[in-house]
Amino acid sequence: MEDIQTFIEKVRNDIEEEKSDDEIFQSFQPFFGKDPQTDAKVSEQLATLPHMKIARLLHRMLEMSDEKKVRKAIKRSLYRLKNKGVAVEAVPFDKEKSILRPLKAETKEGFGSGIDFLGQRFLLLVIPHVGRGLVVKQGVASDTEGMVDFSEDEMTRKGFRSFFKEIQEKNPFPFVEMEPSYVGFLFTKAYQLTLEKGRTPPQDYLRSKSEIEGIKKEYERSLIYSYLQRNEMIGDDRILGRGGDLLKADIFRSWRIEEDLIKPYADEVWEAEESKLVLNQTQKEARFQGIYQKATSELFSGERRFLYQRRLEEMAYVLLKLGRGEEAKISLSVAIDLERPLNVIQPNPFLLQLVIKSIFTLLAEAYEKKSKEPSLIVKP
């Protein structure tokens, strides 16, 4: 978790700025529950801020935590706040659990990976069945083609841990937890897109379809908006201006525009570089910039712009769950900017850098391939 004192100061500032309980809680929620010792220390430090919002925050923390040590620390802090004159709701009494109790069904789990440059991601839905172990539904979903692959397996909890570790090691993107209802929603969207494309869905999915549809909920917007406030991102040019830096991050490293789309612009850059016209470096750079801007405008003027908007929203959620909050804000800021028509004079910084990267990646690959071709010139 972030430095405790830094976090306490952030909460203090949020209260001074009159942020709502939900806004304070949402900024805190992704970091809570990872380390009981840190959670207990945070709970104790919060008692130094005598305010009703702190009392309500502590109550929500109490609802989230099952750790005995953490719950004691929260209750102590609530008691201290009460002694400082803060109105505190009654704390529920912790009853000892009965030794003899019926088996409870474990909660469902959902996981998702990041998205690759083709718009594909790996999704997992884990459904426990009392006395039978787990049913694990796994699939690869594409935002352009629909359901690429899908299968269902029964596993023990131990078997699932081994399986999950294996796919994490093999997959180039990290996995993060997701609401099972959201994973079901993503699976359903991929299935519907498969039908729209006139393709046949995997048979395993058809057998799982009714169960998945029973788990899913309808989401009007990406899950990231449950954690980051859209209004805070709008108009923040500082965050948006860092959009191009996202491509340096490990989970965006593979992103590039498909070869058949970017090749005509790469050819133009190559021709400009090899032109017999006498151009100085400044003139060449201006010509290159013109090609980059034209490519950005032509490639992302229609539906593709909204496709990338959705991809960046989903990647913002992955970054946030990985504890990379600043990068998550940048990704979401870029996504929100893509709601507007492209500005030719000030193109979206992420898309512009994606175009440049894609062009020079293709040119570098072409140069490397050409350099490996055998020469027809016979050396004396």
Predicted confidence at residue 322, as pLDDT, reads 92
Predicted confidence at residue 94, as pLDDT, reads 53
**pLDDT tens figures, 276-290:** 666 677 777 888 899
Please check the confidence at residue 206 and state whether its pLDDT lies above 90: yes
pTM: 0.69
**pLDDT tens figures, 299-313:** 998 899 999 999 999
Please check the confidence at residue 103 and state whether its pLDDT lies above 60: no
Of 252, 245, 250, nearest to 117 (Cα)? 252
Check: CB of residue 145 under 8 Å from CB of residue 200. no
**pLDDT tens figures, 46-94:** 888 888 888 888 887 877 777 888 888 888 888 887 777 776 776 655 5
Size (the chain), residues: 380
DSSP-H helix ranges across 241-280: 259-274
Burial class (CB in 10 A: 0-12, 13-18, 19+), 40: buried
Predicted confidence at residue 102, as pLDDT, reads 44
Residue-averaged pLDDT of the chain = 85
Domain ranges in the chain?
4-83, 109-220, 230-371
Predicted confidence at residue 340, as pLDDT, reads 87
Please check the confidence at residue 379 and state whether its pLDDT lies above 60: no
**pLDDT tens figures, 328-363:** 999 999 999 998 888 877 889 999 999 999 999 999
